[in-house]
Chain A
Amino acid sequence: MAEKKVELTSADRKKVWWRSQFLQASWNYERMQNLGWCYAMIPAIKKLYGDNPEEQKAALKRHLEFFNTHPYVAAPVLGVELSLEEDRANGIEVSDQAIQGVKIGMMGPLAGVGDPVFWGTLRPVLGAFAASLALGGSILGAILFFVIWNVIRLAFLYYTQEFGYKQGSAISQDLSGGIMRKITTGASVLGMFIMGVLIERWSSMPMDKVVLSTAYYGDANATYPALQSLTDALNGLSQAGATIGADVINNAYSALTSIASNGLTVGTMTNPATNEPVMALIKTTTLQTVLDSLLPGLLPLLLTLFCIYLLRKKVSPIAIIFGLFAVGILGALVGIF
């Protein structure tokens, strides 16, 4: 190792890092990320074998073999392969099998970390946060989503590739170690917690059209004399020159606010004591009021658990989505929604 014939400089490795962002461009059903992998390795292949056409051809073909993992955790594998190829170009015996073996050996465990961390936790959490800003009408959500995601991603790609390169093949033996499981578990704890929050906060299945009971809560005019005053004043408007005083309007306004804040409505209803129709205060109990007093978000929770059950029964997500649309339309047809 005293003297290397060719060496991959930091600039070479940065070229690979940049190209690794196109890993999935030619994703195909045969060898999946094979061509994307080769595309990322090309700056290194040119540097290491550029003066030897036969070696260069062999290197290209070597890196067109099957590969598939989460696109970001391919970066440490690229780093390891760069160091292996550098050794090989400098005359150290590294077999084709070793090069392909490291790729295949690392891709499985690493995908097992990348999928739950990036797709399972980071993107849903960041996406929900951005969506909450967007639903409030702010463009800040989109900007933050873009900046935060890409800073994390580019830094991750760069530093893990460098880590892989510096550690060389030693990293591939370290994969089943505790650190990977720690990252996955920690991310999953955060993800599960946030999903619990989001189900209550960001989904709704309102049942307020399902009226369970309407109860007489008293004569509106007797309970709130200000309403009677307003009605009298309105009737008096037919006389020329009549006006309604500000105090009458203000008193009626505070009476109406009080009615609404008590969850009551006003309508014509029979007074049970006198059996005469009066303008009454009405207490309406809907299914939603009952559910909310039990546990807010109960229906979305049950629906989520049912969806998980269906997903485990291998029902496709898109089929579930269309099923729920059908439920919505049927519900509107019979008047639940």
Chain B
Amino acid sequence: MNVLQIILVLLISFLAGMESVLDEWQFHQPILACTLIGLACGQPAMGIALGGSLQLIALGWMNIGAAMAPDAALCSTASAVLVCMKGVPVSEGIATALLFAVAGLTLTIFARSLTIGLAHAADAAADKNNIRGVEMAHIGALMIQGLRCAIPVALVIAIPADAVTAGLNAIPTWVSGGLSAAGGFIVVVGYAMVINMMATPKLWPFFILGFALAPLTGITLIGMGMIGIFLALVYLQLSPEFNGGGSGPALEGGTGGDALDDILNDYE
């Protein structure tokens, strides 16, 4: 690795740190951060592979209200440095990534607390009608978020490659084997977070249908997306919830039930 690569990696980490709080361009998402670091290090294939795996794990990591999710920015950048610069295998990169996600979460909470001071500085600037001062306080906070990711990544870069590989070689095979097996099913935590946020009793049938159709590999993910959109549109059209209550066709037939209901009633 040369100086230019290190500078590029640090810039990407800075960008990822800023995006982790902004959540706009998504440079903190593993699929982008790891791929960029892979490109900067001349190891695009490794970066893409790590980014794809981590993206599935981070699928449900979202900041809602004031609740903070594990930090995708440091998770992706620091582990990508290990994989693309230090030659750590992708499966072990994933395991270390989760440690970095926790470290990053702690750091962003610290940065977000520190920013309270800057918000007060902005109040003082507004009192003096100093627009520039308000703006600087805002941008200063963004710089803190960038640095809180770039500095730890610089530390990871500074650790010699020998030390990293020696440390990893000291790990017994049952640990590394267990970690890579866990990598296969740890993604369900992200799915669970997404489902937990959306699930209502009325929506579970769609989940069941998706799960039942999934083994049909002839339908690609794009095809599945189209089926999902179809279901959403039809549901909105037919659900009595969105059609002014009872004015739909459900009232035809007098008994207020559907055909199956009528048959069942007749049998009693």
Residues of chain A touching chain B, judged by Cβ–Cβ distance below 8 Å, are 21-32, 34-36, 38-39, 42, 45-46, 53, 56-57, 60-61, 64, 68, 71, 111, 115-116, 119-121, 123-125, 127-135, 137-139, 141-142, 145-146, 149-150, 153, 178, 181-182, 185-206, 296-297, 299-301, 303-305, 307-308, 310-312, 317-318, 320-322, 324-325, 327-333, 337
CA distance A192 to B95 in the complex (A): 28
Contact in complex: B184, A120 (CB < 8 Å): no
Contact in complex: B32, A145 (CB < 8 Å): yes
Contact in complex: B177, A332 (CB < 8 Å): yes
Taken residue by residue from 165 to 194, chain B's Cβ proximity to chain A (1 for < 8 Å, 0 otherwise) reads as 000000000110111111111111111111
CA distance A22 to B19 in the complex (A): 9
With A22-B142, A30-B116, A34-B119 already in contact, the answer to whether A135 and B129 are too (CB < 8 A) is: no
B141 at interface by CB-CB < 8 Å: yes
Query: What are 28 residue pairs bridging A and B, where the CB atoms are less than 8 Å apart in the complex?
Result: A22-B138, A24-B21, A27-B115, A28-B118, A29-B112, A38-B138, A39-B138, A60-B129, A60-B134, A68-B65, A115-B197, A123-B26, A131-B31, A142-B32, A142-B48, A186-B236, A189-B203, A190-B232, A196-B206, A199-B191, A200-B211, A304-B188, A307-B192, A318-B101, A321-B186, A325-B178, A328-B181, A328-B183
CB contact between B186 and one of A120, A195, A325 (< 8 Å): that residue: A325
CA distance A294 to B18 in the complex (A): 47
Contact in complex: A199, B134 (CB < 8 Å): no
Contact in complex: B181, A149 (CB < 8 Å): no
CB contact between B134 and one of A42, A187, A205, A327 (< 8 Å): that residue: A42
CB contact between A182 and one of B59, B60, B197, B236 (< 8 Å): that residue: B236
Nearest Cβ distance between residue A156 and chain B, in whole angstroms? 11
Count residues of chain B with CB under 8 A from any CB of chain A.
110
CB contact between B48 and one of A53, A56, A141, A300 (< 8 Å): that residue: A141
Residues in A with CB closer than 8 Å to B214 are 196-201, 296-297
Chain B contact residues: over half helix, strand or loop, or mixed? Answer: helix
Residues in A with CB closer than 8 Å to B215 are 200, 296-297
CB contact between B138 and one of A21, A36, A321 (< 8 Å): that residue: A36
